[in-house]
């Protein structure tokens, strides 16, 4: 059966599911896609991706079944941390284009039915931001816009020292002396990223103004960066307590040297998430349109993420991002996968009936490197077969891998390997740019792993990914909030089974062999199922049938999607 015929069959079969579940909001079952703008598509030949390049490629996102795309920062920035150091929260950095280019992107996205989510970086600004310069000079209203402190005097030496022993995420002290202001300022990240003081109501008002500015331009939500770090605990007298040692890292300049009980996940941060959700609900009531969504980036315990979602009386971020599957390795078994799923579901699903699954981002090695290239499809199957929203980092749908990079004048970041140009076609620079040298090197395997080539290969990672998105609109997949609408278990040490059903006339069984040996499963069900999707390691073809009361054989690293229809 041809790929085109298979996808057409899938689409036709799922037409009847349109009204399957009217109680599901768009974000609950969404296919989200992260774009790193510098690396997605260059439109002007300077070697760096830009907004017009993204606009040109939006039809591709529609093709592969994406609901919404999240753009990493595109705002004006000196690029010390590649856009996460913002100097103007309401302007597009010239390397990406202009506000007019952004408006054109929004117009194209709306015409395609795609939603746009922006990165929102509230914890800090660039030290080149106008707000920081005003705060340095103690201008009226900006004096305590950032976190400043006189420091403390060493009783023995009489010398001035930082207010506390806090260590920044990137290493070294969180406090830096500012000669002009004659005080220390706090920066949980780089020195060039001073922390905003959210205890100041004026700061919160400025940030609501930023949200309003972009909402008025049509965006559908925000991914909130570095949520746990927004507030710090301060004593009543304005001093700051030292954090205790972690006990498992002996380097005093390492972030892991301390247990961050005063600088992460403070109660005020949870309240701020509720405040922002209230603001979005008010905005929607006044302007209408689809639900505006908040994603929260928080590498925090699931119990903390539950508080960020809501407390039973107040609502917070709809999607506190779930990174549990990112902690899997090439040695992880099906039981390990179930453990990662359980950790989320036993808290978040039990309390809130919400789930999302992330397997990659711009700060983490790609799946092909963490798990092995032979397991890319397995992770894509799992993340899209589980109930809830899936989050795909650009290029994971075609099996891109990390690239060895060297320091250049443009970049010398240890995370560059997972940020290299998107691979579109087997031509120069993978059709990312016409420049002689893109800002980061294109992977040497781009001739094999690229969109154009994989469109023509029936069992390519891209075709598997597209088929999975079709499944998400089926009646069985849309019944995930109903009683017994899904289940998952490790049938053996290496075989994972996910079941999706509407308990009426449609059921899917997704089976994934995480191991390197043939697995035999007996007596799964007293029904005849049809093979709907198979990966490259499978011996079967879509359209074949199997009686699951008999023996099922799974090849090493094989994943299959079976369907029963009454």
DSSP 214-279: HHTTT--EEEETTGGGS-----TTS--PPPPB-SS---TTSGGGB--TTTSS-HHHHHHHHHHHHH
Residues 6+ apart with CB under 8 A from 435: 42, 45, 46, 47, 429
> Active-site residue 431, yes or no?
no
Cβ(313)–Cβ(274) under 8 Å?
no
**478-565: which CATH topology?**
Immunoglobulin-like (2.60.40)
| Gap between the Cα atoms of 545 and 540, Å rounded | 9
- Could you confirm whether 336 is annotated as catalytic? no
Q: Residue 408's pLDDT is what? A: 75
**Residue in the block written with tokens 């799922």:** 14
- Distances from the Cα of 430 to the Cαs of 6, 325, 420, in angstroms? 28, 29, 11
Strand pairing category for 115-120 and 148-149: unpaired
Rounded to the nearest 5°, which phi and psi values hold at 381? -65, -50
Which residue out of 81, 220, 225, 232 is catalytically annotated?
225
Q: How far apart are CA 35 and CA 33, in angstroms?
A: 7
For the chain, percent of residues with pLDDT exceeding 90: 92
**Structure confidence by residue, pLDDT tens digits, 322-344:** 999 999 999 999 999 999 999 99
Kindly state the DSSP code that residue 346 receives in the 8-state scheme. I
Q: How many Cα atoms are found within 13 Å in the side-chain-facing hemisphere of 336?
A: 15
Check residue 243 and give left, alpha or beta (phi > 0: left; psi -120 to 50: alpha): beta
Is the overall model pTM greater than 0.75, yes or no?
yes
| Helix or strand holding residue 55 (H, E) | helix 51-63
Helix axes 461-471, 376-385, angle to 10 degrees: 10
pLDDT digits (tens, 9 = 90+) for 255-278: 999 999 999 999 999 999 999 999
- Across the beta sheet with 175-178, the strand order is 148-149, 183-186, 175-178
Q: What is the CATH code for 31-122+201-231+263-472?
A: 3.20.20.80
What would the two tokens of residue 410 be? 């443009």
Query: Which stretches of the chain drop beneath a pLDDT of 50?
Result: 1-21
According to the model, what pLDDT value does residue 22 have?
A: 55
pLDDT value, residue 413: 73
**Residue holding tokens 């690239």?**
403
pLDDT, residue 1, reads: 47
Domain borders along the chain are: 31-122+201-231+263-472, 478-565
| CA–CA separation, 27 and 308 (whole Å) | 16
- Indicate if 478-565 has the same CATH topology as 31-122+201-231+263-472: no
Catalytic residue among 81, 220, 297, 418, which?
A: 297
């Amino acid at each position: 059966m041809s790929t085109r015929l298979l996808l057409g069959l899938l689409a036709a079969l799922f037409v009847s599911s349109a009204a399957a579940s009217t109680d599901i909001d768009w974000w609950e079952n969404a296919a989200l896609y992260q774009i790193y703008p510098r690396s997605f598509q260059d439109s002007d030949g300077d070697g760096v991706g830009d907004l017009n390049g993204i606009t040109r490629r939006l039809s591709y996102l529609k093709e592969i079944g994406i609901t919404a795309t999240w753009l990493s920062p595109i705002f004006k920035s000196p690029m010390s941390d590649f856009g996460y150091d913002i100097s103007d929260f309401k302007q597009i950095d010239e390397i990406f284009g202009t506000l007019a280019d952004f408006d054109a992107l929004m117009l194209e996205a709306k015409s395609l039915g795609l939603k746009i989510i922006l990165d929102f970086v509230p914890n800090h600004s660039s030290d080149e931001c106008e707000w920081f310069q005003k705060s340095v000079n103690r201008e009226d209203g900006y004096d305590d816009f950032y976190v400043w402190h006189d420091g403390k005097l060493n009783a023995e030496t009489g010398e001035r020292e930082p207010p506390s022993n806090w260590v920044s995420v990137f290493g070294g002290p969180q406090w830096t002396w500012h000669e002009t202001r004659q005080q220390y300022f706090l920066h949980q990240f780089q020195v060039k990223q001073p922390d905003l003081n959210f205890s100041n109501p004026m700061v919160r008002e400025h940030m609501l103004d930023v949200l309003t500015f972009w909402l008025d331009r049509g965006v559908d939500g925000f991914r909130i960066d570095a949520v746990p770090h927004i507030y710090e605990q301060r004593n009543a007298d304005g001093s700051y307590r030292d954090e205790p040692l972690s006990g498992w890292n002996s380097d005093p300049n390492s972030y892991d040297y301390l247990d961050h009980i005063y600088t992460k996940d403070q109660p005020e941060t949870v309240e701020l998430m509720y405040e922002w959700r209230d603001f979005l609900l008010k905005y929607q009531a006044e302007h209408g349109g689809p639900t505006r969504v908040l994603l929260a980036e928080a590498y925090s315990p699931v119990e903390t993420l539950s508080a960020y979602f809501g407390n039973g009386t107040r609502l917070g971020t709809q999607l506190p991002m779930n990174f549990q599957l990112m902690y899997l390795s090439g040695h992880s078994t099906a039981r390990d996968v179930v453990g990662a799923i359980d950790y989320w579901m036993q808290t978040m699903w039990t309390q809130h009936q919400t789930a999302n699954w992330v397997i990659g981002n711009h700060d983490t090695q790609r799946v092909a490197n963490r798990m092995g290239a032979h397991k890319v499809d397995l992770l894509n199957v799992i993340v899209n077969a589980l109930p809830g929203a899936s989050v795909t980092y650009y290029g994971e749908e075609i099996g891109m891998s990390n690239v060895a990079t060297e320091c250049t004048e443009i970049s010398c970041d240890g995370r560059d390997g997972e940020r290299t140009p998107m691979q579109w076609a087997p031509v120069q620079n993978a059709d990312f740019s016409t420049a002689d040298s893109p800002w980061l090197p294109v992977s040497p395997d781009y001739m094999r792993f690229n969109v154009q080539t994989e469109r023509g290969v029936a069992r390519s990672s891209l075709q598997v990914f597209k088929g999975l998105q079709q499944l998400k609109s089926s009646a069985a997949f849309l019944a995930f909030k109903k009683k017994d609408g899904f289940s998952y278990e490790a049938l053996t040490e290496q075989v994972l089974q996910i079941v999706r059903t509407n308990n009426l006339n449609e059921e899917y069984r997704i089976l994934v062999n995480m191991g390197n040996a043939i697995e035999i499963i007996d007596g799964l069900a007293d029904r005849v199922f049809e093979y709907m999707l198979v990966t490259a390691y499978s011996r079967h073809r879509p359209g074949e049938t199997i009686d699951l009361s008999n023996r099922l054989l799974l090849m090493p690293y094989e994943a299959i999607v079976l369907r029963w229809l009454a």
